[in-house]
A and B are shown apart, each in its own frame.
Chain A
Amino acid sequence: MTLLRAEGIGKAYGPTPALVDVDLTVRAGEVVAVMGPSGSGKSTLLHCLAGIVRPDTGAVTYDGRDLTAMSDAGRSALRRGDFGFVFQFGRLVPELTCVENVALPLRLAGERRRAAERKALEWLERLEAAGVGGRRPGEVSGGQAQRVAVARALVTSPRVVFADEPTGALDSLNGEQVMRLLGDAARDTGAAVLLVTHEARVAAYSDREVVVRDGRIRDLMGAP
């Protein structure tokens, strides 16, 4: 089932085109890697698909709804409820403990503290990071912090996870563990993952990959 679809999207920053007439389809439960050189438009594509950036041309539809026609508030609500995000440097809130960080999206959605933290702890256990729940992000390793970030992205049971270089700041072993856990968790929950990476070994955890070059996309395998 097609969950997310970009049709002919284009985006320019001033005179510089970042995306040119891009088509991409992401199905439910599928892990798609977006690869390409630095500055090729990978992150802009992810931001357009996630409704963070509005493309200048073309349309993005999520579950049949046109993201490009939605209000800012509508897109924000979608990002909180249906989408999860993992970034290169975790972006955890330093003042909160790890379990509070994971529980944060649930708390923002109105869930009570105890129930939210119980779910957060379950996700930390699943990501083999339960031991750091009571610590603050500054007190844990990069690999542990990234597992916390993945737990936070998945705690709301999103239908799409957007991961922008999620292993970019990790060594090989930690990077692979994070990818294995992210891939397994997403497949178990049926979430689609859009994975931006420049590392081929990370992309090898995906079901298929597309390459962005000079703002244009090349689907190396075609949709399955």
Chain B
Amino acid sequence: MSIGHTLLGLLESGPRHGYDLKRAFDEKFGHDRPLHYGQVYSTMSRLLKNGLVEVDGIEPGEGPERKRYAITEAGVTDVGRWLAQAEKPEPYLQSTLYTKVVLALLTGRSAAELLDTQRAEHLRLMRELTRRKQDGDLADQLICDHALFHLEADLRWLELTAARLGQLAEAVGGSAR
């Protein structure tokens, strides 16, 4: 999963401090793997350097200064591009896809379209494996079948998620499109 894109997506709803970003990330995506503070700050420094976020304000405190980050136009474009691009179909992709779906719902983009784009990519690979299987020997067939069954499981998840977009939008406080 791309932590940079996820943090950018979370910034689309408004500027936040690094600490708020970590809390929002952990709450929505980090159930079994919360972010370290260090990861948040190193990621934000990189995004800042690349012009995808800007410092919206600085609050002095007892400890280090607290920067509030805001997403830039380039950052919004970058998130949009990431969400629209299909992931390479591979096993255990679900955490990235889940993150993309939730962010699409939160940012008013079309989660249904995102799922369809991914579905097309999965089917493209399945078609390619099926052709390889038909032309190959038994070993090829078994290897391709293994990959095909995994891709099919992913596709079933994509279908089920598409059917539950309304419910998911309610749960995360976004809107299904």
Contacts and interface: CB of A to CB of B under 8 A. Distances in A.
- A complexed with B: yes
- If over half of B's interface residues share one DSSP class (helix, strand or loop), that class is named, otherwise mixed; here it is helix
Contacts of A209: 123
Contacts of A221: 120, 124
A206 B127 CA distance: 7
Contacts of A205: 127, 130
Contacts of B156: 200
A98 B45 CA distance: 72
Nearest to A207: B127
Nearest to B134: A180
Interface string A185-209: 0000000000000011101111001
Contacts of A37: 159, 163
A213 B116 CA distance: 11
Report, as a range, how many residues of chain A touch the other chain.
10 to 19
Interface stretch (B51-59, B91-99, B147-155): B147-155
A203 B123 contact: yes
B177 to A, nearest CB: 13
Contacts of B163: 37
Contact of B126 (A180, A201, A213): A201
Contacts of A211: 116, 119
B48 interface: no
A203 B127 CA distance: 8
B16 interface: no
A37 B155 CA distance: 12
Nearest to B113: A218
B129 interface: yes
A108 interface: no
Contacts of B149: 201
A200 B126 contact: yes
A218 B116 contact: yes
Nearest to B117: A220
Interface string B102-133: 00000000000000100110111011011000
B160 to A, nearest CB: 9
A220 B123 contact: yes
Given A203-B126, A204-B123, A213-B162, 4 more contacts: A204-B129, A206-B127, A221-B120, A221-B124
- Across chains A and B, which 3 residue pairs bring their CB atoms closest together, nearest first? A204-B126, A220-B120, A204-B130
